[in-house]
Structure 1
Amino acid sequence: MSMIHGVTITPFDAAAILIVLAAVLGFINNLFLHLPQSIGLTVMGAVASLLVVGLDRLIPGGNLGHGVTRFLDGIDFHKTLMDGMLSFLLFAGALHVDWREMHRGRAAVIVLSTVGVLVSTVLIGTGFHLLTGAIGYPVPWLWAFTFGALISPTDPVAVLDILKRTDVTPTLEATVAGESLFNDGVGVVIFTILFAAAMGTDPLSAGHASVLFVQEAGGGAVLGLLIGWIAMRGMCRIDDYKVEVMISLAVVMGGYAVASRIGVSGPVAMAVAGLLIGNHGVAHAMSENTRDYLLKFWSVIDDLLNAVLFLLIGLEVVTIPSEMPLLIAGVAAIPLVLLARTLSVFGPLIVVRPFLSLGPLAPVTLIWGGMRGGISVALALSLPHSGARDLALTATYIIVLFSVIVQGGSIERVLGWCSRRVAGNAGSGNAGAGEPR
């Protein structure tokens, strides 16, 4: 509960304001702008935040920006996403991923979501330490690697929303979706380990980190399988869509709460449970009527929370520190993150090439389609107040805005251009092969 200009804002008021804003801005976007919803709401939220900042500077004594900041602080983006929305978003996203196609790309999913995240964390952490030192605001090594961990995972919410509008093979789509679902859970685990080491609460050693990683990620996968299996067994015994939808809600809310209590990864648990129910459960544990209701229910939940999340990302721009060195560091971090993503994708793809070929569009889809989103912002907001936090938070916001608006807005055109190039090269090769020598 927060107070703005003497008016108490309850959690229900905050939720109502966000839903109304998302609905109004979504209507404007659909009617006039015709942008993909995630991009449109992020852009309009960011523009609204910048207008608030501009009005405050034009009108002496204006407190509009302070009021918006107080409102956003009252929502607590980190707690709202990590302890609330994320469980629903991951489950809803995993529910629609084709397990058979993802299983074909399992080697790439496993390597990209583990080794890829570790490589990216090291590359970004090293580069960020050197970059901030060059501008006169050096971030200590451990905090730089912590930033690398929070910005390395691709956001499944952003990636899955973009994949709906692209024309890639089912196996590549399922591989990209699977990687984004699992690498955020892995990224959160790595972030937690590095954050504890940076704060001095836990020692950083390979053995200790490995145990924590297996406990959180492996334990999350086991929990997801367990609660998903229990839910499916219950659904097999009845045929009532209302009760079965309630069971799916119990999996998400109860499962995520249990994960946080026993110290395992809730995001990994939700991804596994969603995959299990969305594939085996939908095929064998539900009638056609229940299947239709359940998938439509979770589709609405997914779209609604997506709208609120991307609107919040845009609105949070008003809280970014505006000092010029911080902004320079944030802009300079964009090519650093893209380079790290490129290297962390090409390496794993070379490793899995003997077992799986994802096609010529795989590298560009994984690199340019590897967008950052709300999870990175939420983790950055959880950092303790310090100069390192200001640098990491500013860089995170700038990278996320670039990712959602520029990468998300151009991925269809980039993939279309690459497809034409591949087709042209194939045609030239075939023509050349038929010419007499």
Structure 2
Amino acid sequence: MLLAVVVSGWLTRAIPIPIPLPLIQIALGALISSATSHSMALDPHIFFLLFLPPLLFLDGWRIPKRVLKQDRVMIVQLALGLVVVTVVGMGFFLHWLIPAMPLPVAFALAAIVSPTDPVAVSAISARVPIPKRIMHILEGESLLNDASGLVCFRFAVAAAMTGVFSLSSASLTFLWVATGGLLIGAAFTYAVAFAQTWLGRHFGEEPGAQILISVLIPFGAYLIAEHLGASGILAAVGAGIAMSRVELTGRALAVTRIQRKSVWDMIQFSLNGIMFVLLGEQLPGILRGAVQIVQETGHHNPWWLVVYALAIHAGLTLIRFGWVWLCMQVNGFIARKRGGQADRIDLRLTLAVSLAGVRGAITMAGVLTLPLLLPSGAAFPARDLAIFLASIVIILSLVIASACLPRLLAGLELPPASARQAEEEEARKEAAMSALQAIEKARHLLEPAQENPQMYAEAATRAMDVYRQRIDNGSLADEEAENLRASAELERYFRVVGLRAERDTIFRLARTDQLSDEASRTLVHEIDLMEARLR
């Protein structure tokens, strides 16, 4: 599966037609299953533990917190309100459409296809200019609806297993599952961060160990929450959000942050890729089981599976479109009542947001955790059919979004990024002022104890000149500032050229045994860090 993920990356760049990466990975998985004897049967609980905690932890860690605060009303409406409406509406619709699927299983299927996947949207929108605010709302929605959809899925599966469902009991349980999961995840992250800080202060910090701890945090939070009867999914999300706060303390070493980012990028790419490859690998076997279920309903033509999947996707899109439009109307009315200005409702953008609700890795991970057997020992009803329909909905949402989003968003006027640029410039100035004060303070501390204070003064002046130039650039005329930026870009280009020549020379010396491997690795690492900083 990992090899297929690597090959999919090559194929998506080699194929001239822009095909979303998840679709290529699904096709490779189906090829592996049909062309080889390899097949995989996973324990659902182990599957849930291995794949979901790190993905949700990373979502919580990297989601822009300002967006969560700024658009929190819209995000909550989509992540919670839309999930409940989807579960109830699609649950009854699925049971009516497929009578052989019991109502609790229909609710479980509706719950698991309700979460959206921003990774899949990003793969589609790589060549499409989705407005930043819309993209951040979709990311925030996905962060929360993963948890709400999976919690609803858990209750539906429990009802299917026991045949009993109590709304009052479920509501109380939901409060503990939700709040307990978030609190446990956050508390676990803060406890680990405190222990890391104490150990680092007394014994030093090893980047490799720090990175490994960050990888283990979501699994620890998940297992503790599940042991206490709370949501391990929400614990992973809470741990990720807390991790973003811990990161702002700046306690980690710079080299740890650089290496940790690369490790987590690889984990995210690998896990998401494996999910879609696994989906393709499971499709042939799932199709056989689903065909048998369809025949039990009285339909002997397997094309009814496609009809079911199209109906489900159409229902999901219509519910999403109606809910987004309704929320924008309500939010606009409330804003006008408060004397504010309501956002203009653009039907084209509303439809784009509806189609951008692409299903992906979370839906795949969740649906594969459907139990194999009931407590009585009988097979879980319509399990293969539910998995197959969820799989086809994922593929349909990817295909339709990749075909329609570029056309819907073509020519869309995007808001200028001037506010963000001004914010960054102001932050750079403030950081440069702090750097000047720190250098001046360090200079006065060092000079009295030295025999040659002039050397320290000159060195401090050279270091301070860099920061003075950064501050001055912001107050120059536009043309002059632009010339300075162009000059800085040229200087950066020439420095990168020089660093590449340095690195080539180091490699040549090592190849000809004029330099030891250990020394060459040290020198190349220094050059790599300098080039990364310049870029």
Decide: shared fold, TM above 0.5: yes
CA–CA distance in structure 1, aligned partners of residues 69 and 26 of structure 2? 33
Match of 2:55 in 1: 89
Give the letter aligned to residue 40 of structure 2.
Answer: L
Match of 2:231 in 1: 265
CA–CA distance in structure 2, aligned partners of residues 172 and 296 of structure 1? 27
User: Does structure 1 conserve the Cα–Cα contact (< 8 Å) formed by 2:190 and 2:246?
Assistant: no
CA–CA distance in structure 1, aligned partners of residues 179 and 319 of structure 2? 26
Q: Is the counterpart of residue 216 in structure 1 residue 184 in structure 2?
A: no
Tell me by how many angstroms 1:157 deviates: 4.4
Where do 4+ consecutive residues of structure 1 move more than 4 Å? 159-166, 234-237, 355-362, 420-423
**1:360-382 deviation per Cα after TM superposition (whole angstroms, max 9, x unaligned):** 47633431111112332343331
CA–CA distance in structure 2, aligned partners of residues 98 and 167 of structure 1? 19
Q: Show the 5 A alignment for 1:273-284.
A: 273-282=239-248, 284=250
Q: What SS does the aligned partner of 2:412 have?
A: helix
CA–CA distance in structure 2, aligned partners of residues 280 and 159 of structure 1? 28
- Residues 36/399 of structure 1: CA separation in 2 closer, same or farther (3 Å cut): closer
Normalising by structure 2, report the TM-score: 0.64
User: Does structure 1 conserve the Cα–Cα contact (< 8 Å) formed by 2:117 and 2:358?
Assistant: yes
CA–CA distance in structure 2, aligned partners of residues 140 and 23 of structure 1? 40
- Residues 308/378 of structure 1: CA separation in 2 closer, same or farther (3 Å cut): closer
Q: Show the 5 A alignment for 1:191-210.
A: 191-200=153-162, 203-210=164-171
**1:56-86 deviation per Cα after TM superposition (whole angstroms, max 9, x unaligned):** xxxxxxxx6xx44xx222x44x445411011
Q: Is the counterpart of residue 419 in structure 1 residue 412 in structure 2?
A: yes
Give the letter aligned to residue 347 of structure 1.
Answer: L
CA–CA distance in structure 2, aligned partners of residues 357 and 101 of structure 1? 16
Match of 2:6 in 1: 23
Normalising by structure 1, report the TM-score: 0.77
Q: Show the 5 A alignment for 1:36-435.
A: 36-46=20-30, 49=33, 52=35, 67-68=37-38, 71-73=39-41, 75-76=42-43, 78-79=44-45, 81-132=47-98, 137-159=99-121, 161-162=123-124, 166-200=128-162, 203-234=164-195, 236=197, 238=200, 240-282=206-248, 284-322=250-288, 323=291, 324=302, 325-353=304-332, 354=334, 357=343, 360=346, 363-381=350-368, 382-384=370-372, 385=379, 388-407=382-401, 409-410=402-403, 412-417=405-410, 419=412
CA–CA distance in structure 2, aligned partners of residues 231 and 214 of structure 1? 26
Tell me by how many angstroms 1:114 deviates: 1.3
CA–CA distance in structure 2, aligned partners of residues 156 and 214 of structure 1? 26
Tell me by how many angstroms 1:213 deviates: 1.1
Give the letter aligned to residue 4 of structure 2.
Answer: L
Give the letter aligned to residue 314 of structure 2.
Answer: P
User: Does structure 1 conserve the Cα–Cα contact (< 8 Å) formed by 2:131 and 2:415?
Assistant: no
- Residues 228/387 of structure 1: CA separation in 2 closer, same or farther (3 Å cut): closer
Bigger Cα displacement from structure 2, 216-225 vs 348-357: 348-357
Q: Show the 5 A alignment for 1:2-21.
A: 18-21=1-4
Tell me by how many angstroms 1:162 deviates: 4.8
**1:235-288 deviation per Cα after TM superposition (whole angstroms, max 9, x unaligned):** 555454333313312312211221221122222222222233235514633343
CA–CA distance in structure 2, aligned partners of residues 418 and 259 of structure 1? 47
Which one scores higher on RCO, CA 8 angstroms, separation ≥ 6?
1
CA–CA distance in structure 2, aligned partners of residues 352 and 164 of structure 1? 30
Q: What SS does the aligned partner of 2:152 have?
A: helix
CA–CA distance in structure 1, aligned partners of residues 330 and 217 of structure 2? 36
Gaps of 5+ in 2: 292-301, 336-341, 373-378, 417-535
Bigger Cα displacement from structure 2, 204-213 vs 91-100: 91-100
Q: What SS does the aligned partner of 1:153 have?
A: coil
CA–CA distance in structure 2, aligned partners of residues 197 and 418 of structure 1? 48
Tell me by how many angstroms 1:345 deviates: 3.1
Q: What SS does the aligned partner of 2:382 have?
A: helix
Give the letter aligned to residue 128 of structure 1.
Answer: L
Tell me by how many angstroms 1:153 deviates: 1.6
- Residues 89/206 of structure 1: CA separation in 2 closer, same or farther (3 Å cut): same
Bigger Cα displacement from structure 2, 358-367 vs 256-265: 358-367
User: Does structure 2 conserve the Cα–Cα contact (< 8 Å) formed by 1:158 and 1:373?
Assistant: yes
- Residues 358/369 of structure 1: CA separation in 2 closer, same or farther (3 Å cut): farther
**1:402-428 deviation per Cα after TM superposition (whole angstroms, max 9, x unaligned):** 123332x236514523716999xxxxx
Give the letter aligned to residue 224 of structure 1.
Answer: G
Give the letter aligned to residue 315 of structure 2.
Answer: L
CA–CA distance in structure 2, aligned partners of residues 160 and 266 of structure 1? 26
Bigger Cα displacement from structure 2, 108-117 vs 365-374: 365-374
Bigger Cα displacement from structure 2, 235-244 vs 329-338: 235-244
Tell me by how many angstroms 1:314 deviates: 1.8
Identity over aligned residues, as a percent?
25
- Residues 230/205 of structure 1: CA separation in 2 closer, same or farther (3 Å cut): same
CA–CA distance in structure 1, aligned partners of residues 195 and 260 of structure 2? 15
Largest Rg, 1 or 2: 2
Bigger Cα displacement from structure 2, 343-352 vs 260-269: 343-352
Gaps of 5+ in 1: 1-17, 53-63, 424-437
CA–CA distance in structure 1, aligned partners of residues 127 and 206 of structure 2? 33
User: Does structure 2 conserve the Cα–Cα contact (< 8 Å) formed by 1:193 and 1:212?
Assistant: no
Match of 1:59 in 2: none
